[in-house]
């Protein structure tokens, strides 16, 4: 039986994953952490019977619950602090929140190496999205350039998305398309019109109501383009990847980045 503390339990992702996790026979939700609905029974969040577990914003309450694992679906304003706290208190952690800076990830990696617990950072739990990244990495060497268009709901706090950044990194490991954002004879008549620039790849972010999570990776060469596209139309699409991460965490090294480490193609 695995005891889990769910951080960001009151958010859309947290509540969606909570409604699935409580159905698992070998998982107990031992604590819920959030900045809203403090003191609310977590059973209320899913419309089920009272559980006796109340939402807290206090780390000490989490320690009292003695979880085996923290699932973090908070936001960029607190996720880094949460991770450092979990490492310090030797609690395994799976991170679904995005917005971590590269230098923060490097610090987390080094601290985890010196600890006995595991930190698994997953920019996207959708298995389809992970396959999109892996296939994009495979396709990169056959094309002359590449750009990414990522589209999310208008409540997403970070841009570009963690998935888009992870995609650009994976592509650049196979081929570096551009050394600078603009070509020598290229000019932005409106600043930012060429999007963001990450690891030789341009990234364009769209935020609109009605969207959930969507990304297109567009490759181009003479006379042809290739688009690798993925759409998450419901948050339930993230659960198979989450449960895959939970069930296989013990097989991973102390620090792991990306669900692709558990997927073979």
Residues annotated as catalytic (active site), given as ranges: 152, 156
> Could you identify the residue written with the tokens 């880094």?
80
The continuous run of DSSP H or E covering 195 comes out as none
* C-alpha angle 197-203-205 in degrees, rounded to nearest 5: 130
C-alpha distances in Å from residue 104, one per residue of 60, 73, 99, 100, 119: 24, 17, 10, 6, 13
Please name the residue ranges forming H helices in 7-159: 12-21, 42-46, 59-65, 79-88, 102-113, 127-139
Residues 59, 64, 67, CA angle at the centre, nearest 5°? 85
3-state secondary structure of 214: strand
Beta strands in the chain (DSSP E): 2-7, 27-33, 55-56, 69-72, 92-95, 119-121, 145-152, 196-198, 201-207, 213-221, 224-232, 255-257
State which H helix or E strand residue 191 sits in: none
CA 44 to chain centre: 26
Longest dimension (CA), the chain: 65
210: left (phi over 0), alpha (psi -120 to 50) or beta: left
């Amino acid at each position: 039986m695995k005891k889990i503390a769910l951080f960001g339990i009151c958010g859309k992702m947290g509540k969606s994953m909570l409604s699935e996790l409580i159905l698992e026979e070998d998982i107990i939700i031992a604590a819920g952490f959030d900045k809203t609905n403090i003191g609310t029974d977590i059973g209320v969040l899913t419309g089920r019977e009272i559980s006796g577990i109340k939402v807290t914003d206090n780390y000490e309450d989490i320690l009292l619950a003695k979880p085996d694992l923290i699932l973090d679906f908070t936001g960029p304003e607190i996720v880094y602090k949460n991770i450092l706290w979990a490492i310090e208190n030797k609690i395994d952690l799976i991170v679904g929140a995005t917005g971590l800076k590269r230098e923060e990830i490097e610090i987390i990696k080094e601290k985890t190496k010196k600890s006995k617990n595991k930190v698994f950072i997953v920019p996207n739990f959708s298995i389809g999205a992970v396959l999109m990244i892996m296939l994009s990495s495979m396709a990169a060497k056959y094309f002359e350039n590449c750009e990414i268009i990522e589209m999310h709901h208008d409540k997403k706090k970070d841009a570009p998305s963690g998935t888009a950044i992870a995609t650009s990194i994976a592509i650049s490991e196979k081929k570096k398309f551009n050394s600078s954002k603009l070509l020598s004879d290229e000019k932005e008549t409106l600043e930012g019109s060429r999007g963001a620039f990450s690891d030789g790849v341009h990234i364009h972010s769209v935020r609109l109501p009605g969207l959930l999570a969507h990304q297109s990776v567009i490759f181009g060469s003479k006379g042809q383009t290739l688009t690798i596209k993925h759409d998450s139309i419901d948050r339930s699409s993230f659960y198979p990847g989450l449960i895959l991460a939970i069930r296989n965490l013990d097989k991973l090294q102390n620090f792991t980045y990306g669900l692709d480490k558990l997927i073979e193609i």
